[in-house]
Amino acid sequence: MCGIAGFVNFQKNLFDENALNIHIAKNMAERLRHRGPDSWGEWLGEHVAFSHSRLAVIDVEHGKQPMKRICGGYEFVITYNGELYNTAALKAELSQFGYEFSTECDTEVLLYTYIHYGDACVDKLNGIYAFCIWDSMRQRVFACRDRFGVKPFFYTFCDDAFIFASELKALFKYPGVEAEVDKEGLQEIFAIGPARTQGKGIFKGIFELRPGHCMIICRSGTKIKRYWQFKSMPHTDSYEETIEKVRFLLTDAITRQLVSDVPICTFLSGGLDSSIITAVAANTKAQKGEALNTFSFDYSDNEKYFKTSAFQPDSDRPWVDRMSSAFHTNHTHLVCNNNYLADALEDALIAKDLPGMADIDSSLLYFCSQVKKTHTVALSGECSDEIFGGYPWFRSEKPFGSFPWSHDMTIRNSVLRDSVANELNLEEYSLMRYRESVAETPRLESDTPENARRREIFYLNINWFMLNLLERKDRMSMASGLEVRVPFCDHLLAEYVWNIPWEMKNKDNISKNILREAAKTILPTDVLMRKKSPYPKTHHPLYEKAVKNYMTDVLANPNSPILEFVDKNKVLKLCSQNSDYGKPFFGQLMAGPQFLAYLLQVNYWLRDYCVKIL
């Protein structure tokens, strides 16, 4: 994984200011050095500048970027962030057409795939990626992002230039690109956050290439095209055939993602999803006479303060030990100090460039930094719940007409100044975004009204909740130069599961039943039937106390930028109340203390990025 950046300007000859443009490209890449600490480079053409910071995973010695190849007398240059999981197959296919390779890395394979297939290369790719290719034959830049948006791609325009980067922070290194936020950006922050509408970069004039989309930048302008989306169709496989197909697709996805020339591990919580990945990975390693390294996450004194809830029925530690013992992994229990969680909220904000999931972000930032000390690649279980229907709201009998993970705007509105609340109208904005997403759902005419509604719920979760988790995992891991792969995001698996009827997914009213059935030959029975328990959170009162103290200090400082939006007395009242962890304001675990921490991150964001409100 890497950091990519650059700019395109067909109205200027960039060679006329060669040193300046190389300097700008280098500065952009420098802001992404955490994503690629192993090597870096820049390439300058007449109208295009690319830069790159590389995290070496495959062919460590020869994969430096930007990479250039000459074919048919034309120059093709790529800057690429990602990992292809079908590199070997593509390489064999291209070799039959006469292409010769000088490296073992997927960058060269991807570049030749584009050279040979042009825009249709997107249909050939299996992996996670965001890339730009300068094509001198067609005099254009071709940009693309993977189907689920595992890898980021932001862009903006300034004067005659198109500017892009893996992270928002790098865009601000281009002269003239400013951190400005208008009403819509504020609505995203206060109504939708920590999620974000696809395509929105929050800052005015900054956009995000949506997952499953590609774009062309040429003299006549820019053109964006959707190259992939779910296709709704009847599911014709029997129950038994479905189980076998899910098992094959999942095992295949995990196995393909174990390819690496650097140390690889798995994140293990003892839950169903991470346990399946760990079991397949451990068995694959065992065939080579190797043991798999695994890591679990927890918080100091959590055994003392942990409280069961409908969202978190038990702690992870016993289940982690069970899995590690069963599959003979070399396991490391990572424990985070509770004071760190509050102290690192600002670091997590900077890693993401936007307010995020509070201590859930800051803890992951810490854990990834520890894993990076010995490993460069990790596999994680995100995205299973979104495609198999594992969240509580999939099975709720209560109808909802808004985002189920943030349907109650009460706490959000309760702290705003009255004038701000009236201006932003959080409920109306959230409802608008919700209805837009529902309207996009791929339909199947033969669906019953109930099944049609199920598709809407799945589509919402995949395009909103899952994307938020993927963004969090990318930024927090890449802040330490750690590549995290997500096998449940394999598009072949997801495409198949999309059309499996709810009656199979939830057979006998068992959550994620079809996945559990597929894993019967993989996992011990007790682990197989463990109830869902999400990413762990701290239950220690010290964390809540620290957050409230920080917020009190912010409110006491008249120069705190958040005071333009929140009512000081209302926030102080919230700080004085006992927290009700049973009423999350976002997701399953983000309740009162996390909301205060989110407001802290908003304040850091406004201050650290010198945000100008329009």
Catalytically annotated residues:
2
Buried b vs exposed e over 266-286: b needs ≥16 C-beta within 10 Å?
A: bbbbbbbbbbbbbbbbbeebe
CA 248, CA 166: separation in Å to the nearest integer?
Answer: 33
Place of tokens 């009656």: 503
Residues 358, 591 contacting (CB under 8 angstroms) = no
DSSP 110-144: HHHHHHHHGGGGGGG--EEEEEEEEETTTTEEEEE
The pairing of strands 221-226 and 213-218 is antiparallel
CA 156, CA 7: separation in Å to the nearest integer?
Answer: 10
Nearest of 217, 187, 4 to residue 110 by alpha carbon: 4
CA end-to-end distance (rounded Å), the chain? 35
Half-sphere exposure of 340 (CA within 13 A, CB side): 15
CA 351, CA 481: separation in Å to the nearest integer?
Answer: 12
Nearest of 374, 283, 342 to residue 604 by alpha carbon: 342
Question: What are the Cα distances from residue 192, in Å, to 294, 346, 362, 412, 425?
Answer: 34, 20, 20, 10, 12
Q: Which helix (H) or strand (E) holds 479?
A: none
Task: Pull the structure tokens for residue 537.
Answer: 């959170």
CA geometry: angle 71, 93, 490, nearest 5 deg: 110
CA geometry: angle 309, 315, 320, nearest 5 deg: 150
Half-sphere exposure of 411 (CA within 13 A, CB side): 24
DSSP class of residue 327 equals: T
Residues 41, 117 contacting (CB under 8 angstroms) = no
Residues 532, 548 contacting (CB under 8 angstroms) = no
Residues in the chain: 614
Task: Pull the structure tokens for residue 176.
Answer: 């003239």
All residues at 6 or more sequence positions from 506 whose CB lies less than 8 Å from its CB, including other chains: 389, 394, 395, 512, 513
CA 153, CA 426: separation in Å to the nearest integer?
Answer: 27
Task: Pull the structure tokens for residue 222.
Answer: 């820019």
Place of tokens 């020339």: 261
CA 108, CA 205: separation in Å to the nearest integer?
Answer: 33
3-state secondary structure of 224: strand
